[in-house]
A and B are shown apart, each in its own frame.
Chain A
Amino acid sequence: MSAKTLYDKLWDSHVVRQDADGTALIYIDRQLVHEVTSPQAFEGLKLAQRKPWRTASMLAVPDHNVPTTNRAAGIADPISRLQVETLDANCAEYGVLEFKMNDIRQGIVHVIGPEQGATLPGMTVVCGDSHTSTHGAFAALAHGIGTSEVEHVMATQCLVAKKSKAMLVKVEGALGKGVTAKDIALAVIGKIGTAGGTGYAIEFAGSAIRALSMEGRMTLCNMAIEAGARAGMVAADDTTIAYVKGRPFAPKGSDWDKAAAYWKTLHSDAGAKFDATEELDAAQIKPQVTWGTSPEMVVAVDGRVPDPASAPDAVKRGDWERALAYMGLQANTPITDIKIDKVFIGSCTNGRIEDMRAAATVAKGKKVAANVKLAMVVPGSGLVKQQAEQEGLDKILIAAGFEWRDPGCSMCLAMNDDRLAPGERCAATSNRNFEGRQGQGGRTHLVSPEMAAAAAIAGHFVDVSKG
């Protein structure tokens, strides 16, 4: 038998049928559902008088619209409230398990899936959300889909798909002090561009990836979509299996042993062929900061805002000029001279317990700078929040002047009330620095939790790998 990539193994084990032109039906093991991209799918199902194929494969949670303060008062915005109530009503009608807004298990869909063990190695996982790539950290084939496909998976348990090409991103060596999975992700995007992974499923491998915790691997796979790849993945190993063990949805008893034995086969075979390979030296990666309005507009913290005159072509030059104007930045400004107004620590990229710990470690005994109007920490789930509080992280952060919020997507995309005012500059641990993403006219710089917390304390970006 020829050597297979991890992606080959996951694809092959889910093909229901395949046409001569490669169009396939692949079976979906887990569908995660949130309030924004599901109402039209449920409505379509209803109009066609169809029922979900396998309700038990679904897990729903409201996350985008939920408030992060005073949750007991409910959702003030009537349109947001209706969307969450519509999810509640649809889940009740079809018998879909939902963690409602005030359930301790509620949180960002990409945080709660793994936390519950609802994401398992070897699975196919979909959700009407591009950051579904996160779940690939578990050696799962996971990607975002549109609402029509959400309805399709509900009705048929399958997705119409063609196999992507396979890309290997290999990161060897040890990360330096203050350098995290987020910095690997941004460095990869800086290298290959936001369209570099288009048409590919990316496998992240190498000693630096194997050394990452599951939280770190999730951060990395989460950002695969920002490199254009629908799916990112990491081979299963002892770290993966140890993380899954004992979680509510994880297999138990004899199933556990059988599952764990199977999961150990979920890696690319020696000699497996990839369509493209990128290699990075972990030791060379520095803390990263985006300067523009696309995640590929990124430099190391000791660098400077680039000069559009040095852009490789006219289209890029135009993009860089527009980005600098939008961001209110001058070419050649040292990154560490950029002052910030707000800090957002959270999101499906960096809202997990390790991220909370990293922020608290930096903030301990310090104070948020006077020029920083708001520094908020939004845990990714109720259980992350609970654990952080058990560890006393909330007290450290609050003492330093951070706000400690309730879980949700929050200011990553600003669908709830958490948003930037026009012109405000934010150090954010989220995943997109697009124009208007965190609020119309808002200026986003993507960084790691360590870098965001350090910027909150200093009032400007600082190099956490120094000192």
Chain B
Amino acid sequence: MRKFSLLDGLVVPLDRANVDTDAIIPKQFLKSIKRSGFGPNAFDEWRYLDHGEPGMDNSKRPLNQDFVLNQPRYQGAQILLARENFGCGSSREHAPWALEDYGFRVIIAPSFADIFFNNCFKNGLLPIKLAAEKVDVLFKAVEANAGYKLKVDLEQQTIGAPDGAAYPFEVDAFRKHCLLNGLDDIGLTLQHVDEIKAFEAKHRAAQPWLFA
């Protein structure tokens, strides 16, 4: 997994609540057996005016110029500012794959759906929960200032704004450690292989039918 520590990135505001993973990456792209290449189809139904299918040349498709990601001032954005319950719905990890492949490294929202939140950390993406009032302040600032950037410091757990304001954020210690070091969960878990085996033996003795 790609490490994440510090980012000074352009922010794009996606001003709607309950953005679901079907919207982030529509189902037709889930037919892929790979975990890369989803970026051009992130938010496909909002981003393009035609119906997207796998295998199309996305550079030739008509863009929906009203969609915020298509506006010239937000090109190259690495920080997605969103509203409550971002990433709800399907557990598809294709959603964080698509966001990461598009170029996002950080998502800031008042709240996230649990499975999506968890999936982000497995893919070098940092989801940050900030109070709704603070997110509101950021929305106003982004919309008022072209080229608006934020400095995200995972080590210090702060977001620095151009006006000097600092927004501290919480992050789970284990997830922070994995993200800072780009660690793969499986390798870490396999350090506890003896404990897993011991548990399994005890569990099998208590409920043998689970192992039939």
Which residues of A pack against B, CB within 8 Å? 14, 16-17, 19, 21, 23, 25, 27, 29, 36-37, 39-40, 43, 48, 50, 53, 56, 64-65, 77, 79-80, 82-83, 86, 120, 122-123, 128-130, 132, 143-149, 151-152, 155-158, 160, 162, 164, 194-195, 198-199, 228, 230, 249-251, 255-256, 258-259, 262, 294, 296, 315-316, 318-319, 322, 413-415, 432, 434-437, 440
Q: Which of B34, B88, B189 is in CB contact (< 8 Å) with A152?
A: B189
Question: CB distance B45 to A155 under 8 Å?
Answer: no
B26: which A residues are within 8 A, CB to CB?
Answer: 436, 440
Question: CB distance A434 to B91 under 8 Å?
Answer: no
Q: What per-residue 1/0 map shows which CB atoms of B148-163 lie under 8 Å from chain A?
A: 0000000000000000
How many Å lie between the Cα of A434 and that of B208 in the bound state? Answer: 43
Question: CB distance B35 to A414 under 8 Å?
Answer: no
How many Å lie between the Cα of A464 and that of B71 in the bound state? Answer: 48
Which residues of B pack against A, CB within 8 Å? 15-18, 20, 22-23, 26-28, 30-35, 45, 51, 54-55, 83-85, 88-93, 96, 111-115, 118-119, 122-123, 172-174, 185-186, 189-190, 192-193, 195-196, 199-200, 203, 207-212
Question: CB distance A36 to B30 under 8 Å?
Answer: yes
Question: CB distance A148 to B93 under 8 Å?
Answer: yes
Query: From residue B22, how far is it (CB to closest CB) to chain A in Å?
Result: 5
Question: CB distance A318 to B15 under 8 Å?
Answer: yes
Q: Which of B15, B114, B203 is in CB contact (< 8 Å) with A198?
A: B114
Question: CB distance B172 to A146 under 8 Å?
Answer: no
Query: From residue A14, how far is it (CB to closest CB) to chain B in Å?
Result: 8
| Given A251-B209, A318-B16: 14 more A-B contacts, CB < 8 Å | A16-B196, A16-B199, A21-B174, A23-B174, A27-B199, A146-B93, A160-B185, A194-B85, A228-B85, A258-B209, A319-B17, A415-B27, A415-B31, A440-B26
How many Å lie between the Cα of A255 and that of B23 in the bound state? Answer: 47
Q: Which of B15, B186, B200, B209 is in CB contact (< 8 Å) with A155?
A: B186
A195: which B residues are within 8 A, CB to CB?
Answer: 18, 84-85, 88, 111, 113
Show 30 A/B contacts (Cβ-Cβ < 8 Å), sorted by A.
A17-B195, A25-B196, A27-B203, A36-B92, A56-B211, A80-B31, A82-B31, A129-B91, A130-B89, A130-B91, A144-B115, A146-B92, A151-B186, A155-B186, A156-B186, A156-B190, A158-B196, A195-B84, A195-B113, A199-B114, A228-B85, A228-B113, A255-B208, A255-B209, A315-B83, A318-B16, A434-B20, A435-B22, A436-B22, A440-B26
A432: which B residues are within 8 A, CB to CB?
Answer: 20, 22, 89-90
Q: Which of B34, B51, B200 is in CB contact (< 8 Å) with A40?
A: B34
Which of B55, B185, B190 is most buried by chain A, counting CB atoms within 10 A of its CB?
B185
How many Å lie between the Cα of A198 and that of B86 in the bound state? Answer: 11
B114: which A residues are within 8 A, CB to CB?
Answer: 164, 198-199, 228, 230
Question: CB distance A262 to B186 under 8 Å?
Answer: no
Question: CB distance A83 to B31 under 8 Å?
Answer: yes
How many Å lie between the Cα of A464 and that of B25 in the bound state? Answer: 36
How many Å lie between the Cα of A302 and that of B156 in the bound state? Answer: 54
How many Å lie between the Cα of A414 and that of B29 in the bound state? Answer: 12
How many Å lie between the Cα of A57 and that of B16 in the bound state? Answer: 41
Of chain B, the residue at the smallest CB distance from A130 is B91
Q: Which of B34, B84, B123 is in CB contact (< 8 Å) with A148?
A: B123
Q: Which of A29, A122, A129, A315 is in CB contact (< 8 Å) with B17?
A: A315
Which of B32, B33, B173, B200 is most buried by chain A, counting CB atoms within 10 A of its CB?
B33
A251: which B residues are within 8 A, CB to CB?
Answer: 209, 212
Of chain B, the residue at the smallest CB distance from A229 is B114
Of chain A, the residue at the smallest CB distance from B15 is A318
How many Å lie between the Cα of A147 and that of B209 in the bound state? Answer: 28
Given the interface contacts A27-B199, A415-B27, does A162 sit within 8 Å of B88 by beta carbon? no
Of chain A, the residue at the smallest CB distance from B46 is A435
Of chain B, the residue at the smallest CB distance from A38 is B33
B83: which A residues are within 8 A, CB to CB?
Answer: 315
Given the interface contacts A146-B119, A434-B22, A440-B51, does A16 sit within 8 Å of B111 by beta carbon? no
How many Å lie between the Cα of A437 and that of B18 in the bound state? Answer: 14
Question: CB distance A86 to B33 under 8 Å?
Answer: yes
